[in-house]
């Protein structure tokens, strides 16, 4: 797989694994959004090359930072709130993080598509992807085992090369 980033830049192996798997399953011109410790956006070219992406703080990391940095804010679990306007601290935090990430995903993907000036599929994966998959049409597909699929492809390739 070709990695087309600035010389000296290291790309996380998880991001490359997702690129391999995404291209194998869906072809090129992809944005793979992975909801892990960080929320990453990986751009896959039409020939399967990794051409860069975006790294944002992960959802749970953002919630933990709110709790740790503001003594009055409790630890909360992420969930889709019943309303955008929260009427208590927990609901306010859940709304801010949930709808904030919906906006983050929508805007970053729109800007990537505009910059690439071509149709692109958006694939979601990672632990919190199902939560965000249930909201508006943010993603074309959800793939819960994308990373495992990529690891298998790379393993098979390396086994064949011996």
DSSP letters of 49-104?
-EEEEEEEE-HHHHHHHHHHH-TTSPP------S-SS-SSHHHHHHHHHHHHHHHH
Residue 53 included in any domain: yes
Residue 89 included in any domain: yes
**What per-residue confidence (pLDDT) applies to 66?**
87
d(CA 58, CA 38) in angstroms, rounded, equals 4
Residue 6 included in any domain: no
CATH label of the domain that carries residue 99? 3.30.420.40
Residue 1 included in any domain: no
State the average pLDDT over residues 103-124.
97
Catalytic residues: 14
State the average pLDDT over residues 120-140.
91
Domain count, the chain: 1
Residue 117 included in any domain: yes
Q: What is the pLDDT of residues 35-67, one digit of tens each?
A: 999 999 999 999 999 999 999 999 999 888 888
Residue 71 above 80 pLDDT?
A: no
State the average pLDDT over residues 100-110.
96
Residue 8 included in any domain: no
Q: Model-level pTM?
A: 0.93
């Amino acid at each position: 797989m070709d990695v087309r980033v600035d010389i000296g830049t290291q790309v996380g192996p998880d991001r490359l694994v997702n690129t391999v798997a995404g291209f194998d399953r869906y072809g090129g011109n992809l944005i793979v959004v992975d909801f892990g410790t960080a929320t990453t956006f990986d751009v896959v070219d039409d020939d399967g090359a990794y051409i860069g992406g975006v790294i944002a703080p992960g959802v749970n990391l953002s919630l933990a930072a709110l709790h740790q940095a503001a003594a009055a804010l409790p630890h909360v679990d992420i969930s889709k709130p019943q309303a955008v306007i929260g009427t208590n601290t927990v609901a306010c935090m859940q709304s801010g993080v949930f709808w904030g990430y919906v906006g983050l995903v929508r805007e970053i993907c729109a800007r990537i598509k505009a910059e690439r000036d071509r149709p692109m599929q958006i694939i979601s994966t990672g632990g919190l992807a199902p939560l965000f998959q249930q909201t508006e049409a943010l993603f074309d597909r959800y793939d819960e085992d994308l990373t495992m699929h990529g690891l298998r492809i790379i393993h098979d390739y390396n086994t064949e090369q011996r």
